[in-house]
């Protein structure tokens, strides 16, 4: 597909906002701001929030790289996605999306774990966990920077320029109205995470922006692992993880999580923890050092945690472990607060 054919998919006004530019090897992904209340507005579109791993796919003359939010290669974990993208019409492009695995028809970050940390493409395919790349934005295509093109036009360009006929690559559909009703319907289905609302005429920004807003059905976010406790009874590996979030340079204790692990996870994560042990607590809170059976670790592992709520003392209520994240630096983990 030639560049002129790609741009012909835009109307005259939007075409003028595309710029001839050398395609970069990396762009910082745009991020959404957490808000409390869903809303309806004709100037916004609404997409389902998928519980997976954010991925920027960068292709140059047919060579595809899948990159996480912190620029780690994901090619070995998801070789079928690489293969799907290698056969696309545009030879060079940058597209943004989410890698997702399903459990009983619902996106499952825990199930995706079985693929996420595999570094051999042959073994990844043999595991038996199907993955899909849900694409929601296009940033560059065949020598044109389209980040300044309005979102609604970018999504139209994405749908027209790429093929979504195989079962691996999927286009993220959106709704143009009834955001509140859509949010209620999504949250009525067990296991779904929420919605992303996006300003329809917004450009693509390389930071966190209020042009993208997220509404969550339940509480879930990343936490830094700063330690663990000894296992009790017949439990293997460890008892609970000690969790924290950063407040400036301080790692602030948020509580411990002892549920959500199978035996394989306990043993694998235990090995990672023991290799990171340190004598002193990384938490700024003095009382953490007095936790019975506590061991402390170098705080560079990030866990995805679901929980009921924050307590008045800033601890997690009923937390559950969902998996390890590899796509976010520990120092970037802060408490998510609606704005």
Catalytic residues: 49
Q: For residues 137 and 89, is the Cβ–Cβ distance under 8 A?
A: no
Q: How far apart are CA 339 and CA 330, in angstroms?
A: 22
Phi/psi of residue 265, nearest 5 degrees: -65, -45
Q: How far apart are CA 156 and CA 154, in angstroms?
A: 5
Q: How far apart are CA 211 and CA 174, in angstroms?
A: 15
Chain centroid to Cα 25, Å, comes to: 20
**The total number of residues written for the chain in this structure:** 339
Four-CA torsion 81, 84, 85, 87, nearest 10 degrees:
160
Q: How far apart are CA 144 and CA 5, in angstroms?
A: 12
Q: How far apart are CA 162 and CA 225, in angstroms?
A: 40
């Amino acid at each position: 597909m030639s560049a002129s054919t790609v741009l012909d998919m835009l109307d005259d006004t939007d075409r003028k906002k595309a710029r001839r530019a050398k395609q970069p090897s990396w762009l910082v992904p745009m991020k959404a701001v957490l808000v409390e209340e869903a809303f309806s507005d004709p100037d916004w579109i609404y997409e389902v929030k998928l519980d997976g791993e954010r991925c920027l796919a960068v292709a140059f003359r047919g060579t595809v790289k899948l990159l996480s939010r912190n620029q780690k290669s994901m090619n070995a974990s998801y070789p079928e996605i690489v293969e799907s993208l290698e056969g696309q019409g545009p030879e060079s492009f940058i597209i943004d999306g989410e890698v997702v695995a399903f459990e009983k028809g619902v996106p499952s970050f825990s199930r995706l774990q079985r693929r996420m940390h595999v570094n051999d493409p042959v073994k990844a395919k043999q595991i038996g966990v199907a993955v899909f790349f849900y694409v929601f934005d296009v940033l560059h295509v065949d020598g044109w920077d389209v980040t300044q093109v309005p979102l609604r036009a970018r999504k139209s360009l994405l749908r027209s320029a790429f093929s979504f006929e195989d079962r691996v690559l999927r286009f993220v559909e959106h709704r143009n109205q009834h955001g509140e009703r859509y949010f209620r319907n999504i949250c009525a289905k067990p296991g779904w995470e929420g919605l992303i609302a996006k300003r329809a005429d917004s450009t693509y920004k390389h930071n966190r922006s209020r042009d993208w807003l997220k509404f969550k059905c339940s509480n879930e976010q990343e936490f830094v692992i700063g330690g663990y406790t000894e296992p009790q009874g017949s439990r293997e590996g460890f008892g609970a993880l000690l969790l924290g979030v950063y407040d400036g340079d301080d790692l602030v204790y948020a509580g411990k999580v002892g549920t959500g692990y199978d035996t394989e996870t306990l043993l694998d994560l235990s090995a990672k923890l023991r290799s990171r042990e340190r004598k002193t607590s990384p938490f700024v809170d003095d009382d953490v050092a007095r936790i019975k059976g506590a061991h402390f670790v170098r705080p560079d592992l990030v866990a995805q945690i679901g929980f009921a709520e924050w307590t008045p003392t800033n601890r997690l209520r009923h937390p559950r472990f969902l998996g390890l994240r590899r796509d976010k630096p520990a120092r970037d983990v802060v408490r998510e607060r609606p704005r």
